[in-house]
């Protein structure tokens, strides 16, 4: 049997969907027989980064940016992150847009992470996020509906929508894990 590896998964979330994405990545990796440490970077007070065989970070785009606690974490730990096989899952609505410029815009936001923080992941996956209209306050619902309308995403604010392609996310995690094997 192949040796079990340890993967570190850190995520940021504002509305909770990226937590679900990070958990799905963790489940995929565990199903492949490996171990996982899952952390929310927004809740870290004191922590230790153990030696790991690979790391996957997950963060959503809100208002054209990743959450500041996520950027702070990546910048603070960029040396540690850069010493490991690493992958990034960027969560957004625009990646589902019919408009190529909007898809390019979120790809550029992910690429700019390396300049902003000093960490360049070896693999990047763009996952479509969720619209949790019923959980937003009035202002956020208005903002999200406007954004969705301009991206061809659902605008029925009486319901919630998950736009994530779960099998594509699992395939990305499996490919990354296979590439992280030290004896490859
Ligand atoms: C107030 C608000 C602003 C958003 N801004 C953007 C944006 O600028 N670009 C984008 O592609 N998606 C945007 N989204 C979509 C989010 O990336 C998507 O809802 C994601 O699932 C949020 O992840 P979270 O639940 O982990 O916070 C926005 C969503 C909300 C509610």
What is the distance in A from the centroid of ligand 1 to the CA of 177? 27
Atom 13 of ligand 1, nearest CA residue: 62
Total-model pTM: 0.96
pLDDT at 93 over 70: yes
Digit-coded pLDDT (tens) for 60-71: 999 999 999 999
**What's the confidence (pLDDT) of residue 63?**
94
Closest CA to 45 of 69, 13, 23: 69
Residue 128 near residue 92 (C-beta atoms within 8 A): yes
In angstroms, the CA 90 to CA 136 distance is 21
Residue 183 scores a pLDDT above 60: no
The answer to whether residue 97 scores a pLDDT higher than 70 is yes
94 lines ligand 1 (CB under 6 A): yes
Q: Is the CB of 164 under 6 A from ligand 1?
A: no
Which atom of ligand 1 lies closest to the CA of 21? 26
Between CA 163 and CA 130 the distance in angstroms is: 6
Look at residue 128 and tell me whether its pLDDT is greater than 60: yes
Q: How confident is the model at residue 154 (pLDDT cuts 50, 70, 90)?
A: very high
């Amino acid at each position: 049997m192949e040796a079990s590896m340890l993967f570190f998964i850190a995520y940021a979330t504002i509305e909770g969907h990226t937590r679900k994405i990070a958990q799905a990545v963790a489940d995929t990796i565990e199903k492949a027989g490996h171990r996982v440490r899952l952390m929310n970077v927004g809740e870290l007070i004191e922590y230790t980064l153990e030696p790991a065989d690979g790391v996957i970070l997950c963060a959503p785009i809100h208002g054209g940016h990743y959450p500041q606690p996520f950027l702070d974490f990546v910048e603070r730990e960029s040396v540690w992150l850069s010493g490991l096989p690493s992958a990034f899952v960027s969560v957004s609505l625009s990646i589902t847009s019919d408009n190529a410029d909007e898809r390019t815009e979120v790809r550029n936001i992910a690429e700019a992470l390396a300049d902003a923080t000093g960490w360049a992941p070896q693999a990047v996956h763009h996952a479509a996020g969720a619209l949790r209209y019923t959980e937003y306050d009035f202002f956020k619902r208005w903002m999200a509906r406007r954004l969705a309308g301009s991206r061809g995403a659902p605008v029925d604010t009486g319901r919630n929508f998950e736009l994530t392609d779960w099998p594509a996310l699992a395939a990305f995690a499996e490919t990354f894990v296979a590439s992280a094997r030290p004896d490859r």
